Amino acid sequence: MWDVLKERFLSYSTIKNKNGGSLMKKIFLFLFAFVLTSTIFSQVRLSTVYNFPTISGSSEDSLLNGLKSIRGVYFDNDIDGDGKAEIVVTNYNDKGHVHVFEVVGNDSIQLVWTSPSLMAGAGGANQTPRYVLVGDLDNDGKKEIIAQVGNQGIYIFEWDGVIGSNNYGTQPSQLLNSTTLPELTGLSGNCEFMDIGDIDNDGQNELVVAYNSSPNSNDKYYVISAIGDWSTNDPGFSGFFAEWVGTRTQMQAYKFDAGSPYSMTIAQLDGSGNKEVVLQAWNKKNVTVLRSTSKDNYVLCDTTNGKQNYFLGGTLDDVALFGGIAYDIDNDGREEVYLPTYSASDGTSLPHKGFVHMIYYDPGKNVNEIDSNNVFTLDFSSLYSPDENYWFNNTFGVGYGDVEGNGKRHIYVSSGYPRNILSAEFLGGDKTNPANWHLYVLYQGDNSAEAKTIFIKDSLGIVDTSYGYSKDSAAIASKIFARNTDFDKDGYQDIIIPYQTIPDSFGVYKYVWNSSTSKYDTMFYKVVNPKRWGFRIIEGTRPSGVEAKDIVVITPDDFKLYQNYPNPFNPSTEINFYLPVESKISLKIYNQLGELVKTLISDQNFTRGSYSVRWEGMNDNGDKVSSGVYIAQLRFGNFSKEIKMMLLK
């Protein structure tokens, strides 16, 4: 997809949208960088970065190497009830995984769960998860991780209800597809955005999904609720109910019969009663409003006055590529919906680059219609140069908060370098008055992480080095997460920035003068990119100014289970292990058949540190075991490590 999008703007041509796992047991390389970044009117610090590992031939490295392109990221203050926040990210490469990192301290995160492969043997970019969210669709008080994966459907992994377990299962709790919901028959394609909330105020959450399918006749918009209750690894007798489905044919009057479905955003537009849903299609950024009139009943805008839809792109085929967000910027009780712009080309430029549209309703305005009176544009275009017309010179993700810490409300949007995060600060007053907004670059990013070629020229011992940057490759801050987010609960807000298109290596051309041939000998090789960023977290200014400090990222390899001593042994041996963070662990002995022999530690909390446990060569009944090979397993959360031990008599 990205290749298509790049080509679209590099050539200034208009490409129309369609019309008419095994657990990881080895080291995952992390690298931490500390960057002090100054901006025009505010400062943020680069709190942490994640460097994906290069592939070394192992399946584990291959899996996490997929995090070089994180398409979606989500944050939740506490999924599993232990008071710790979690960051959930999609693995857009490899075979479609979702990873959960838990915050285990101030500026410390730990990889605690990885989903099984979600591709079921399928291939292609459309079969990897593009978006993930956290919600409670079956309304049982246990949160779920929800991810859409191409033709496979929407996977739901529910927390097991055990406080602090970080256990979301080894298989889906439920799978939303044509088997569980007949209205999804013919399901194909993908979605870039989903939203969840109680739209019709019936005490039950709904999931809204815009499916961009193939063929076009399968393009649909869905409002879906759950029937019954599922549990971890078990769908039980649960199912789904389609509260509303919008097809191309049904939505012809709204000009939704042309253009791909792209997003549905839940919002309280009029400040009272049931909520609304803003629908968007990739057809000149076409929008309309879906209203909930009562439980499980929905209607679109009135078609009798010609105000049933509005083209935010005007005559250009724009789109909010990664959806939008609802937020009440002026605290008047009515939310607005903010939609970034992926601008189409007019043949020579990107006229709408930097545009973010606000959809709003003043008091007394009816949500059964939409026109120019319901739209205001935050125009960041002055922060771009006129000749910057590459595909990454657009706005992608969107969020809100006060990372600056000045007590004002802000809208944040992501873009390419040198404006990875743009900020629109609301100064108060009329939100539709441009004078009441301050627009600026909050965080530039770092172009040294982008694709480049290094040229080294050695002329008789005089070495010149130059760098060639590719204009069609840039570090794209995609679906950022910022919703007054404080990921480590230290009192300072953060923005979580997933990245796409960062290469794992650079090409190097070395030219060495050969005096015997009077020509340059050319060598080409690759070097590892030291800034293989999967995601970054930036944090707002502290009272003392910008502060950079060490960030600890804990992976399964940081837990150590050392070889027992002595080994072989008779009659007893010492088993030593190290915990990098306070953890609930088990240490058990198994025979070669996988049968439990002895439990040394059972689900006990241990603080960070080194420990030693003696095994006397007896089973749980107190009987001495026979000679042979035994396996000691240290289990911590959803991961484990094993060693083999030899008992000789």
pLDDT in tens, 374-397: 999 999 999 998 777 677 788 999
Distance CA 572, CA 589 (A): 13
pLDDT tens by residue, 410-422: 999 999 888 889 9
Output the domain CATH number for residue 158: 2.130.10.130
- Which pLDDT belongs to residue 458? 54
- Which pLDDT belongs to residue 443? 86
3-state secondary structure of 578: strand
Name residue 97's beta-bridge partners: 91
Range among 102-106, 113-117, 193-197, 343-347 with highest mean pLDDT value: 193-197
Q: Which amino acid is residue 104, in one-letter code?
A: V
- The band of 583, judged by pLDDT with boundaries at 50, 70 and 90, is very high
DSSP state of 164: T
3-state secondary structure of 5: helix
- Which pLDDT belongs to residue 649? 84
- The band of 58, judged by pLDDT with boundaries at 50, 70 and 90, is very low
pLDDT above 50: residue 28: no
**Is the distance from CB of 344 to CB of 405 less than 8 angstroms?**
no
Domain boundary among 204, 222, 247: 247
**Is the distance from CB of 358 to CB of 340 less than 8 angstroms?**
no
pLDDT tens by residue, 469-512: 444 455 677 789 999 999 888 888 989 887 765 555 555 666 67
Once rounded to an integer, what is the mean pLDDT over residues 285-294? Answer: 98
Q: Can you say how many angstroms the Cα of residue 17 is from the centroid of all Cα atoms in its chain? A: 24
Q: Can you say how many angstroms the Cα of residue 413 is from the centroid of all Cα atoms in its chain? A: 15
User: Strands of 206-211's sheet, edge to edge?
Assistant: 194-197, 206-211, 220-227, 239-247
User: Is 262 part of any domain?
Assistant: no
Query: How open is the CA angle 282-286-287, to the nearest 5 degrees?
Result: 120
Query: How open is the CA angle 578-580-585, to the nearest 5 degrees?
Result: 65
Position with higher pLDDT, 549 vs 115 = 115
User: Is 150 part of any domain?
Assistant: yes
User: Is 8 part of any domain?
Assistant: no
User: Is 203 part of any domain?
Assistant: yes
574 to each of 296, 564, 567, 586, 627, how far by Cα in Å? 63, 5, 9, 16, 17
Distance CA 347, CA 618 (A): 79
- The band of 24, judged by pLDDT with boundaries at 50, 70 and 90, is very low
pLDDT tens by residue, 295-350: 999 999 999 999 999 999 999 999 999 999 999 999 999 999 999 999 999 988 99
- The band of 542, judged by pLDDT with boundaries at 50, 70 and 90, is low
Tell how strand 194-197 and strand 609-615 pair up.
unpaired
Domain boundary among 207, 227, 247: 247
Once rounded to an integer, what is the mean pLDDT over residues 128-144? Answer: 93
- Which pLDDT belongs to residue 295? 97
Question: Does 363 sit behind a cis peptide bond, omega within 30 degrees of 0 on the bond before it?
Answer: no
3-state secondary structure of 474: coil
Is the pTM higher than 0.95? The answer reads: no
- Which pLDDT belongs to residue 6? 35
Lowest mean pLDDT among 124-133, 374-383, 561-570: 124-133
User: Is 109 part of any domain?
Assistant: yes
- Which pLDDT belongs to residue 117? 79
Token pair 């005089």: residue: 462
Once rounded to an integer, what is the mean pLDDT over residues 38-52? Answer: 46
- Which pLDDT belongs to residue 217? 82
Percentage of the chain exceeding pLDDT 70: 76
Question: Which two tokens mark 211?
Answer: 């499916």
- The band of 465, judged by pLDDT with boundaries at 50, 70 and 90, is very low
Q: Which amino acid is residue 372, in one-letter code?
A: S
- Which pLDDT belongs to residue 497? 84
Distance CA 1, CA 92 (A): 12
The mean pLDDT value of the chain amounts to 82
Question: Which two tokens mark 336?
Answer: 């607005």
- 82 exposure class (CB count in 10 Å sphere: 0-12, 13-18, 19+): middle
Q: Which of 153, 152, 98, 95 is nearest to 124 (CA)?
A: 95
Beta strands in 237-313 (DSSP E): 239-247, 260-267, 276-282, 286-294, 297-300, 310-311
Q: Can you say how many angstroms the Cα of residue 247 is from the centroid of all Cα atoms in its chain? A: 28
Q: Which residues contact 441 (CB under 8 A, 6 or more apart)?
A: 39, 40, 383, 418, 419, 421, 422, 423
- Which pLDDT belongs to residue 214? 79
Domain boundary among 177, 212, 247: 247
Percentage of the chain exceeding pLDDT 90: 57
Distance CA 162, CA 167 (A): 8
Structural domain range at position 638? 559-647
Start-to-end Cα distance in the chain: 64
User: Is 494 part of any domain?
Assistant: no
- 39 exposure class (CB count in 10 Å sphere: 0-12, 13-18, 19+): middle
- Which pLDDT belongs to residue 388? 73
Q: Which residues contact 405 (CB under 8 A, 6 or more apart)?
A: 492, 493, 540, 541
User: Is 187 part of any domain?
Assistant: yes
pLDDT above 70: residue 408: yes
pLDDT above 60: residue 96: yes
Question: Which two tokens mark 70?
Answer: 């994180």
Q: What is the dihedral of CA 260, 298, 152, 504, to 10 degrees?
A: 60
**Is the distance from CB of 579 to CB of 585 less than 8 angstroms?**
yes
| Structural domain count, the chain | 2
Q: What is the dihedral of CA 394, 484, 191, 20, to 10 degrees?
A: -50
Distance CA 505, CA 528 (A): 4
- The band of 634, judged by pLDDT with boundaries at 50, 70 and 90, is very high
- Which pLDDT belongs to residue 29? 27
Output the domain CATH number for residue 641: 2.60.40.4070
pLDDT above 60: residue 288: yes
Rg of the chain, C-alpha, whole Å: 27
Number of other CB atoms surrounding residue 388 within 10 Å: 18
Token pair 């022999």: residue: 597
Distance CA 393, CA 471 (A): 11
Question: Which two tokens mark 279?
Answer: 């629908």
Distance CA 346, CA 485 (A): 38
- Which pLDDT belongs to residue 43? 54
User: Is 171 part of any domain?
Assistant: yes
Distance CA 101, CA 93 (A): 18
Number of other CB atoms surrounding residue 277 within 10 Å: 29
Tell how strand 108-114 and strand 552-554 pair up.
parallel
Q: Which of 160, 155, 102 is nearest to 131 (CA)?
A: 155
DSSP letters, 224-258, are EEEES--BTTB-TT-EEEEEEEEETTTTGGGTTTS
Q: What is the dihedral of CA 434, 437, 438, 444, to 10 degrees?
A: -100
- The band of 623, judged by pLDDT with boundaries at 50, 70 and 90, is very high
Question: Which two tokens mark 201?
Answer: 């105020």
